[in-house]
């Protein structure tokens, strides 16, 4: 069964960092790029960046440059998204999303989402 399993909800204080993991199963991990998308409560979708699980190369939306790091572990078929210097505006559900291939810009398989709450 092809699926993406994300880590559980997190509560962080402003200024802290958070790591969200996303474990892929049921397909060749290195055959498809992985996106990260977030959605603040009651708001729309926002694209954060993309990682090539094969090479580990990344591209980030300019808004998140310097605060986000996406990595992968090919031994466990897991991608990670680290976001630092958290502020209240980062409170959102974070999704990992499998592309249909190598940057086809078709977000075909979504994880269940991870709620990150930033609050003092």
Contact residues for another protein (CB under 8 A)?
35, 37, 44-47, 49-50, 59, 61-63, 95, 100, 104-108, 110-113
Would you state the structure tokens that stand for residue 103, as one six-digit string?
């940057």
Judge whether 37 and 95 are in contact, CB under 8 Å. yes
Q: How far is the CB of 105 from another protein (least distance, A)?
A: 4
Report the residue number, 31 or 59, with the smaller CB distance to another protein: 59
Tokens 């939306």 belong to residue: 61
Q: How far is the CB of 73 from another protein (least distance, A)?
A: 23
> Closest Cα to residue 49, out of 84, 109, 100, 94?
94
Q: How far is the CB of 80 from another protein (least distance, A)?
A: 19
Report the residue number, 9 or 45, with the smaller CB distance to another protein: 45
How many Cβ atoms are within 10 Å of 23's Cβ, its own excluded? Answer: 17
């Amino acid at each position: 069964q092809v699926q993406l399993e994300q880590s559980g909800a997190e509560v962080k204080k402003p200024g802290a960092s958070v790591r969200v993991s996303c474990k892929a199963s049921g397909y060749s991990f290195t055959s498809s790029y992985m996106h990260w998308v977030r959605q603040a409560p009651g708001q729309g979708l926002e694209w954060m960046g993309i990682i090539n699980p094969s090479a580990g190369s990344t591209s980030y939306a300019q808004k998140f440059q310097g605060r986000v790091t996406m990595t992968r572990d090919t031994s466990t078929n897991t991608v990670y998204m680290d976001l630092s210097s958290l502020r209240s505006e980062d409170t959102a559900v974070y999704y990992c999303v499998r592309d249909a291939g190598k940057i086809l810009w078709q977000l075909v398989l979504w994880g269940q989402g991870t709620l990150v709450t930033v609050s003092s």
